[in-house]
Amino acid sequence: MTRFTAIIFDLDGTLIHSAPDLQFAANAALETIGRGPLDLATVISFIGNGVETLVKRALAVTGGGDDALERTVLAVFLDVYAENITTLTRPYDGVIASLETFRGEGIKLGICTNKPTAPALDICARLDLTRYFDVIVGAEPDRPKKPAPDMLLACLSQLGCPREQAIYVGDSAVDYQTARNCDVTFRLFSKGYLNEPLPLLTAAEQFDNWHQNGILAV
């Protein structure tokens, strides 16, 4: 029997392919200040550190911008995103079946995402994911984002799970570092939005297909 009793997942690029809706909102926000659109690969390379960073990076590559412009563009981005949050966003193939399997095995499930809490909850509700999770922790203004340990520790505490019994599954260097900062076992979904190289992971520490539930292998 496995020693793991809880699995906590990152959201964007791990459970869901959300980049096309994030790209739409980013480009709509850029358009309001006369900036041209970004392609999908560029937007994907900006995902993982939260929406503020995504907007900051989008402004930086289209001509720059100060804090006031960042705030203005972020507000438009969030408004547009709220209206188009699951237009194109879908769970990766095999995610639902995996969640069903984990629940069937009595494993506690959580989400720990740098996406703000409101859109994270909205997406889960619209994609019928909410029912699988005991806790969903999103970014809050007064809490340090990943890779700071705070969010993942909050998730563990709400699950009542000791850190040595948990796995954190993510798609990015931010997620890897978060798990390390919490001393939690990490598994990489390698077909998400990895945009920085990671230290060498063994084959058992990563997977590229949700139809293989190998992430629970020790």
Ligand X SMILES: O=C(O)COP(=O)(O)O
For the annotated catalytic residues, the residue numbers are 10
State whether the Cα torsion 31-77-189-197 is positive or negative: positive
Instruction: Report in angstroms how near the CB of residue 116 gets to ligand X at its nearest.
Output: 8
Tell me whether strands 90-91 and 16-17 are parallel, antiparallel or unpaired. antiparallel
Q: Which of 15, 171, 177, 194 binds Mg ion (CB under 5 A)?
A: 171
Instruction: Report in angstroms how near the CB of residue 208 gets to Mg ion at its nearest.
Output: 15
Examine residue 144 and say whether the peptide bond preceding it is cis (omega within 30 degrees of 0).
no
User: Among 72, 15, 74, 71, which residue's Cα sits nearest to residue 46?
Assistant: 74
Q: Does 10 bind Mg ion (CB under 5 A)?
A: yes
Looking at the Cβ atoms of 98 and 113, the one nearer to ligand X is 113
Looking at the Cβ atoms of 56 and 146, the one nearer to Mg ion is 146
Instruction: Report in angstroms how near the CB of residue 177 gets to ligand X at its nearest.
Output: 12
The contact set with ligand X (CB under 6 A) reads 10-13, 47-51, 54, 113-115
What is the crossing angle of helices 19-31 and 67-83, to 10°? Answer: 130
Give, in degrees to the nearest 5, the angle at Cα 129 between 125 and 132: 125
Q: Which span (12-20, 64-72, 124-132, 155-163) binds Mg ion, by CB under 5 A?
A: 12-20
Where does this chain bind Mg ion (CB under 5 A)?
10, 12-13, 171-172
